[in-house]
Amino acid sequence: MMFSVIEHIEYLVTLHDCVVVPGWGAFIANYSASSYDAEAGMMSRPRRSIGFNASVSHNDGLLAQSLVRREGINYNEAMKFIADSVTTFRQQLAMDCEVSMGRLGYFRRNEGRFIEFVPFYHSDGTDQFFGLNDMEIKDVTTLEQDMAMADETAAVIVPKERNLFIRKASRIAASVAVLIGLGVVLTTPMIVNRDHQNLASMAPSVSAPKAQQLNVTVEQGVSSQSISTVTTQPRIASVGNESGRYYMVIATLRNQQELDAFKNSNAALVPYMKVLKYKEFMCVYVARSDDYNTLMGLRDELPEQLRDIWIYS
């Protein structure tokens, strides 16, 4: 299957304050209101960050219903897919001490015992206030000091009788500007779009078949008869696909017909494609490396529709 439970979690987190993954734990949204730092003269925007609670792992049906709506499967199939995904997460933690959750963050095992979730605070997919920036707002005293320095500089060309009037007018204008700025910040409503339509993943995520102890064989990919001209060599070529512990898988297909169609629609990547056989599936990968982060860093080199990669070890 070409979809991942992670893309559903990413989507649901933008709509709900708590998203439970049965048997794994709950992703919980934490809000922090806007605040003003008088010393720095900065008004910080409101923020929404994601945390994780492993003790909340009951099934509330939210994630399963998302799979049913988007993927066209029944509820039992959805629950089985979630359970298989959780098994994959645990297996990857056991092997690599780390498992990625797309742009939400990642889990890591510390000292072989403790598991913690490390969120990505810069992720726009988890922050409904994305687009608002922190604002520099100086207090009246600071503005007066700045204006006094400007007055001293301008005194050589401004007559003394006019200087007092200009200073007073500048102070009044600065005070009005500060009050207007605070009014805009504190009264502008935050509009959050919670339209429950078919979800779409907001970021690349990691998908995998059902986790088991795998015995795999690698087959050289067959070049397509029609290959698009590539004007610049992608970074994938510099990494290579001949050796390395990790495989960068871009598609999981069921037969040769699907493989041929996939190559025809992605002709530019055919020179880098190879096939990793797993049971009845054909897993297409384009790069290998001993460094997990190197492969994760290549996602943006792929066409947008192929960035839902799977890093296989």
Which residue is it, tokens 């795999």? 216
pLDDT-derived band at 65 (thresholds 50, 70, 90) equals very high
Lowest-pLDDT range, 35-49, 161-175, 204-218, 244-258?
204-218
- Of all residues in the chain, the percent with pLDDT exceeding 70 is 69
Q: Of 302 and 165, which is predicted with more confidence?
A: 302
In this prediction, residue 260 carries a pLDDT of 92
pLDDT-derived band at 124 (thresholds 50, 70, 90) equals very low
Question: For 232-243, how does the pLDDT look when each residue is reduced to its tens digit (9 = 90+)?
Answer: 567 788 788 788
In this prediction, residue 112 carries a pLDDT of 58
In this prediction, residue 81 carries a pLDDT of 93
210-213 long-range Cβ contacts below 8 angstroms, 24+ apart: 210/84, 210/87, 210/88, 211/84, 211/87, 211/88, 211/90, 211/91, 211/92
Tell me the C-alpha distance between 24 and 271, whole Å: 39
In this prediction, residue 227 carries a pLDDT of 39
**Pairing between strand 114-119 and 217-219?**
unpaired
Lowest-pLDDT range, 84-93, 201-210, 297-306?
201-210
Tell me the C-alpha distance between 149 and 145, whole Å: 6
- Of all residues in the chain, the percent with pLDDT exceeding 90 is 11
| The model's pTM | 0.42
In this prediction, residue 187 carries a pLDDT of 58
Q: Is the pLDDT of residue 213 over 60?
A: no
Tell me the C-alpha distance between 261 and 278, whole Å: 19
Q: Is the pLDDT of residue 214 over 60?
A: no
